[in-house]
Every structure is written in C-alpha cells, then in structure tokens.
Amino acid sequence: MGTIKNIFKEHGPIYLDRYSKTMPAGHKKVIRAIIACKTDVYGTCVYQCADCKTTQYVPLSCGNRHCPNCQYQKTRKWLMKQQQARLPGSHFMITFTVPEQIRSFIRSHQKAAYSALFAASAQALKKLAADPRHIGGDLPGFYGVLHTWGRQLQYHPHIHYVVAGCALNKKDLSCHRSKNNFYLPVIPLGIIYKAKFKDLMKKKGLLNKIPASAWKPAWNVNCQSVGESVQATQYLATYVFKVAVSDSRIKTDKQTVFVAYKKKKSNRPRTMKLTPDEFIRRFLQHVLPKGFMKIRYYGFMHPSCSVALDRLKAIIARTVGVKITAEPCQPEPLSEPVCKHCGGTLIFKFFVPPLPVSTPGGPAG
C-alpha cells in the first residue's frame, strides 16, 4: 500500500467528518476513491496461474485521475500513442505561468480560469508564430498539459507545451522552420498572453473580481529547446498523469507527514513537515473540475487537422533535411498481472462485481 493511500486511509475519514459541510463534492470523491483503490469496493478479477494452478484475486483500481496508484498505465498508453505520431525536427518546451497576485482568483474560478489559460496561451503562440518577423506560418503544432502545483504542494497553476520547431502555411502547406535553439521571443509572448487572458475574463464578466495588482507584474513565459520529439515526449510523459506528489517523496509518523523537496536552482535536499490535515488540504487543492481536459492539442497536432500524419511528417522532414525512420521507438509493453507465487502467466476466470455503496468509503463513481 502506498504512503499517500495510507495517509488518506488513516486520516481521510476524519478529514471528511471535519470539513464535509464546506468541502467541494469533487474533493470528497477523490478522498473516497484513494481510500477504496485496489480493494473489493471496485470489484475483483479472479485469475488462475497457468503454472502453479493457484487462484489469484486482483482488486481493481479506482481509476480516478488524482489517485497516485492509477497513473502508470495511463502514462504508458499516452506515451505509446505520442511516440507513434512523433514528428521529425527540433522541439521546444514552453511554459506559461501566472503571477502570485491572481492565483487566489483562479483557484476560486477554476473551470473558467483554466480554460482561459489554455486559450490565451495558445492564441499567443499562434499569433507570434504567424508573424513573418518570426516563423511566418499560421498553422503551428503543439500540445500542452495543465499543472497546478509547485515543489512544496503550493498552488501554482501553469501550462507546459511541447511545440514543434516549425509552422505550416495553410494556403500552400509550405513549412516555415524556426531556429534550432530559438522558437519565439518570450517577452512578447507574455504580453500577448496576459492581454488575451484579460479580454477573456472581461467577456466572462469576471474581470472585476481580479485584483488590479495582478496586471502589474510580467506574466512569465519560459522557452527551452528539448531536441527531437522523442526526448520532449518522454520528458513530458512523466508529468502528464502525475499527481501533485509521489510516494517516493513522502515519509510519515503518527502525526507528521515529511515531504522531500528542492528549491528552484538548488540541489540541496530539504524536508517539509506537515500535519496530516494540512497534507490532505494541499493535495486536494490540485483536484481539477469534473470533466476538465488537462491535455489539449492545437494546430497540426490536433486530431482533427486536415493534413494527414504521413504527409505532415514528409513535409517537415523535407524542410528540416532529415529522413523519416521506418519505425518510431516504442516504450516498454504495458504490464500484465503475473502470479505472486511463481511469476507464471495468469489466466482470467471471472469478475466479482463491486460492493453496493453503503459506507463513506464506498465506490466514488
């Protein structure tokens, strides 16, 4: 059993009783899901080992996207899909952040604000990429993932994009290449990003709820070259389905949670001490709104792009002067259950349905 699951199992029911009247329904659902994950609450698959003939019972995971036990297989599947569609040429990691003065507003208006962060940052990228002084193509290609946490589990919303180092012209599909180590100037990107977010908040009638101090500092954008798309995809894959903190960073005693972390631009390991209630509070503030899509695709990387993938690869490869490899590299195969006694192959026999919902720890849906 993981450390995070242990914390929620031991302290989650008390936390629910204490704060249930003011807690969002989504937070209650996450607590119950993590507690019940890999128990018979979600049903059990029954297998028989082909070698030693023993019967094996495998409780199902909750599948909640905020549960640390349920992310590995999702990450592998996503990575396989992205590597099959990988494009030739250089790529960039571009990160859009927001100043501290607006974070409280975003946390209180998550669905509207997160959607606006995606829209404003994507529009800024498209606008500058189309400028002939930079790349000069009106169809760039990129995808991004929303993160909401910092190194100490503090609330720090930002979006990471993986961006192909080129853009197409929609009229003739000519490919315009960026410099190998430079995509777009980050200061103008930040200015456009802030202005577009402000416009979107005005249209939604939320502008008056944002403090004036939020518009004074620069909205920082960071851009770094990450080489071929294989490296970029593998780098981002570790973050796409990652929850706010992993078991490897946590130790506990009866009333204290110790969280390991490092400050920015420092390799010195540090430890943060939290009460179980404070740890759960910090963890839950990163729960996303129901149905919100934390990964989004744009331009020629969008699934509905009219340019077929093979043609797109050929256009970019010809522009950057590389040959397309016959087969993209593949990550390790997805894991299958094996016998805990002899390591043999397990043969599925039947499924035991979930228990009926009757307790606070029952199925979370």
Predicted local confidence at residue 88, as pLDDT: 86
Q: Name the maximum alpha-carbon separation found in the chain.
A: 69
What secondary structure does DSSP assign to 293-356, as a single string? -SEEEEETTSTT-SS-HHHHHHHHHHHHT-PPPSS----PPPP--B-TTT--BEEEEEEEPPPP
Answer whether residue 148 shows pLDDT above 80. yes
Answer whether residue 229 shows pLDDT above 90. no
pLDDT, average across residues 111-131? 97
Predicted local confidence at residue 335, as pLDDT: 63
pLDDT, average across residues 161-170? 93
Q: In this structure, how many other beta carbons lie within 10 angstroms of the beta carbon of residue 365?
A: 10
Answer whether residue 85 shows pLDDT above 70. yes
Radius of gyration of the chain (CA): 23
Predicted local confidence at residue 194, as pLDDT: 98
Point out the least confidently predicted range of 118-127, 156-165, 207-216, 243-252: 243-252
**How is residue 25 written in tokens?**
């329904």
**Whole-number Å distance between alpha carbons of 234 and 238:** 7
pLDDT band at residue 239, thresholds of 50, 70 and 90? low
Predicted local confidence at residue 84, as pLDDT: 77
pLDDT, average across residues 259-273? 91
**Whole-number Å distance between alpha carbons of 40 and 255:** 28
Q: Which of 269, 268, 252 lies closest to 260 in space, CA to CA?
A: 269
pTM: 0.88
| Per-residue pLDDT tens digits for 24-43 | 999 999 999 999 999 989 99
Higher pLDDT, 230 or 76: 76
What secondary structure does DSSP assign to 246-273, as a single string? -GGGEEE-SS-EEEEE--TT----EEEE
User: Terminus-to-terminus CA distance in the chain, angstroms?
Assistant: 21
pLDDT band at residue 365, thresholds of 50, 70 and 90? very low
**pLDDT more than 70, % of the chain:** 90
Q: Which of 225, 251, 240 lies closest to 76 in space, CA to CA?
A: 240
DSSP 60: P
Bridge-based pairing of strands 155-168 and 139-149 is antiparallel
pLDDT, average across residues 46-62? 92
Point out the least confidently predicted range of 84-88, 139-143, 160-164, 293-297: 84-88
Q: Which of 224, 198, 87 lies closest to 142 in space, CA to CA?
A: 87
Predicted local confidence at residue 236, as pLDDT: 65
**How is residue 306 written in tokens?**
């009219």
pLDDT band at residue 332, thresholds of 50, 70 and 90? low
pLDDT band at residue 252, thresholds of 50, 70 and 90? very high
Residues facing 59 on adjacent strands: 44
Point out the least confidently predicted range of 97-111, 114-128, 331-345: 331-345
Query: For all residues of the chain together, what is the average pLDDT?
Result: 89
Answer whether residue 325 shows pLDDT above 80. no
Answer whether residue 125 shows pLDDT above 60. yes
Predicted local confidence at residue 180, as pLDDT: 79
pLDDT band at residue 87, thresholds of 50, 70 and 90? confident
Give 10-14 contacts, CB < 8 A, sequence gap 24+.
10/276, 11/276, 11/277, 11/280, 12/280, 13/360, 13/361
Predicted local confidence at residue 359, as pLDDT: 45
Residue for token pair 């101090």:
213
Predicted local confidence at residue 321, as pLDDT: 75
Higher pLDDT, 325 or 2: 2
**Whole-number Å distance between alpha carbons of 350 and 286:** 37
- Specify the length of the chain in residues: 365
Q: Which of 285, 253, 248, 243 lies closest to 7 in space, CA to CA?
A: 253
Predicted local confidence at residue 246, as pLDDT: 87
